[in-house]
Amino acid sequence: MNRIELSRCCRLVVKVGTSQLTNARNHVDPEKMKAVAGQIARVRKSGREVLLVTSGAVGIGLGLTGKTEYPKGVSERQALAAMGQSQLMHMYETCFRPHALPIGQVLLTAQDLHARERYLNVRNTFLKLLELGAVPIVNENDTVSVDEIKFGDNDTLSANVALAAGADLLVLLTDTDGLFDNNPKLVKGARRIGEIKKIDDRVASLARGTDKVTAIGGMETKIAAARIATTAGVPVVIARGSDPDVLMDVLSGADIGTFFHPSARGLNQKERWIAHTRKKPGSITVDRGCRAAILKGASILPVGVTAAKGNFGKGDSIRVLDDRGIEIGTGLSNYNAMEFKTVMGRKKKEEIIHTDNFVLNENYEDSL
Verify that 290 and 150 share a domain, yes or no.
no
pLDDT value of position 145:
56
Residues 322 and 203 in one domain: no
**pLDDT tens readout for residues 248-298:** 999 999 999 999 999 988 899 999 999 998 889 999 999 999 999 999 999
| Mean pLDDT score across all residues of the chain | 89
Could you tell me if 257 and 178 are in contact, meaning their C-beta atoms sit under 8 angstroms apart? yes
pLDDT at 368 over 90: no
Spatial distance between the Cα atoms of 368 and 328, rounded to a whole number of angstroms: 11
Same domain, 301 and 223: no
Considering 246, 271, 296, which residue would you say is the last residue of a domain? 271
Exposure string for 47-58, b = 16+ CB within 10 A, e = fewer: ebbbbbbbbbbb
Residue 217 CA to residue 63 CA, distance in Å, equals: 22
Distance CA 88, CA 83 (A): 9
pLDDT digits (tens, 9 = 90+) for 174-217: 988 999 988 777 788 889 999 999 888 888 888 754 444 434 44
Q: How do residues 20-39 score in pLDDT, each as one tens digit?
A: 888 877 778 899 999 999 99
Q: How many H helices and E strands in the chain? A: 12, 13
Identify whether the C-beta of residue 3 lies closer than 8 Å to the C-beta of residue 195.
Answer: yes
Q: How far apart are CA 155 and CA 312, in angstroms?
A: 26
Q: Note the pLDDT of residue 151.
A: 63
**List of E strands, the chain:** 11-16, 49-54, 103-108, 135-140, 169-174, 195-196, 236-240, 258-260, 282-286, 305-310, 317-321, 327-332, 358-360
- Report the pLDDT value the prediction gives residue 43, as an integer from 0 to 100: 98
Is 182 or 135 the better-scoring residue by pLDDT? Answer: 135
pLDDT tens for 40-62 read: 999 999 999 999 999 888 888 88
Q: Could you tell me if 239 and 105 lie in one domain?
A: yes
SS3 (DSSP) at 146 = coil
Chain segment 319-341, per-residue pLDDT in tens: 999 999 999 999 999 999 998 88
Of 273, 266, 332, whose CA–CA distance to 117 is shortest?
273
Q: How many domains does the chain have?
A: 2
Q: Give percent of the chain with pLDDT exceeding 90.
A: 62
Determine which of 50-54, 183-187, 237-241, 299-303 has the lowest per-residue pLDDT on average: 183-187
Residues 28 and 94: their CA atoms lie apart, in Å, by: 14
**Residue 268 CB neighbour total at 10 angstroms:** 11
Which amino acid would we find at residue 323? D
Question: What CATH number does residue 324 fall under?
Answer: 2.30.130.10
Q: Are residues 265 and 307 in the same domain?
A: no
**Do 166 and 220 have their domain in common?**
yes
Asked if residue 164 and residue 40 are part of one domain, the reply reads: yes
pTM for the complete prediction?
0.89
3-state secondary structure of 77: helix
Q: Which of 224, 253, 271 is the last residue in one of the domains?
A: 271
- Is pLDDT of 317 > 90? yes
Which residue spans within 87-187 are E strands per DSSP?
103-108, 135-140, 169-174
What per-residue confidence (pLDDT) applies to 66? 84
- State which residues form the domain around 178: 3-271
Q: Which amino acid is at 8?
A: R
Q: Which helix (H) or strand (E) holds 60?
A: helix 57-65
